[in-house]
Structure formats: structure tokens, C-alpha cells
Amino acid sequence: MTSVTSPLAGRAIGLAAVPDPVFSGAMVGPGTAIDPVREPSEAVAPVAGVIVSLHPHAFVVVDADGHGVLTHLGIDTVQLNGEGFELLVNKGDTVARGQAVVRWNPAAVEEAGKSAVCPIVALEATADSLADLVEDGDVKSGDALFSWQ
């Protein structure tokens, strides 16, 4: 079983509340979402593993069980072309749970007219393979978000 922890501090809101139909409809996969605190911060790896996809606005870590977890920093933030995001690791790097991956500022994302809400998605999973899903309440970076059977 894989335990997925929060890559950010903020408030858990669940995928249904994400202002993007691809995420809110769980088309990418099941999971939850975090409305992050509005201050410069580092998004950290939600599991230990290998960075298999890395963009300024999103990254995927695959753990030893082959589970891929997507962290998407904001909605439509690909349109910012990396502005306001700083990559702290490289694609192919092995990272520890809690290791900083991207430095960013959610307030600047909002100032640019984008949503700062961050989906945390279990890729290629089914909703019934997740347990203990956190969809409301305050979370700190490193708090448990869900477990993946």
C-alpha cells in the first residue's frame, strides 16, 4: 500500500471542487485537491520515488510499487510558461517523500488570473483503490491525503 502525503500546506477541498472539468470529473484519476496557503512555498514529493514527469506547473513521482502521483500546481498554469516557478530537481531524479520539487507562489498565480488550487491525483488508479481520502480541513505539508491499495 502507498501512503500519499500532502505536497503543500493549505485546505483540502476534494477533486469535485477543482475549477477544471478534467480534474473535477476525475478523468485524470482519483485523488483530492489542496487550496494552498497564499505565500511563497515549496511543493514537495508526496511519495518517495522517481520524478518521471517534470514541468514548472506539474510533476509526477512514481514510487517503488509503480504508483504514479501527479501534483498539479494551480489550474491552467501551463499558460504561465514557467514564470513564477523554480524547478529544484530534475526529471529522472530519485526523491524522498517531503523533498522540495518546485518553488512557487500561489498568490502570484492568482494575480496572473489563474486558480491556485492544486489537484493531487493517483494516476491509472480507480476510486475504490484509494482509502482514507482527505477532502476537507486544513493540511500541512507532509500530512496524509490518502492511501492507495
How does 15-33 read in b/e, with b if 16+ C-beta sit within 10 Å? beebebeebbebebbbbbb
Question: Cell 494551480 belongs to which residue?
Answer: 74
72 tagged catalytic: yes
* Residue 50 parent element (H or E): strand 49-55
Q: Which of 55, 57, 67, 72 is catalytic?
A: 72
Give CA 69 to chain center in angstroms. Answer: 8
The alpha carbon torsion through 65, 68, 73, 75 (nearest 10 deg) reads -150
Residues belonging to the active site: 72
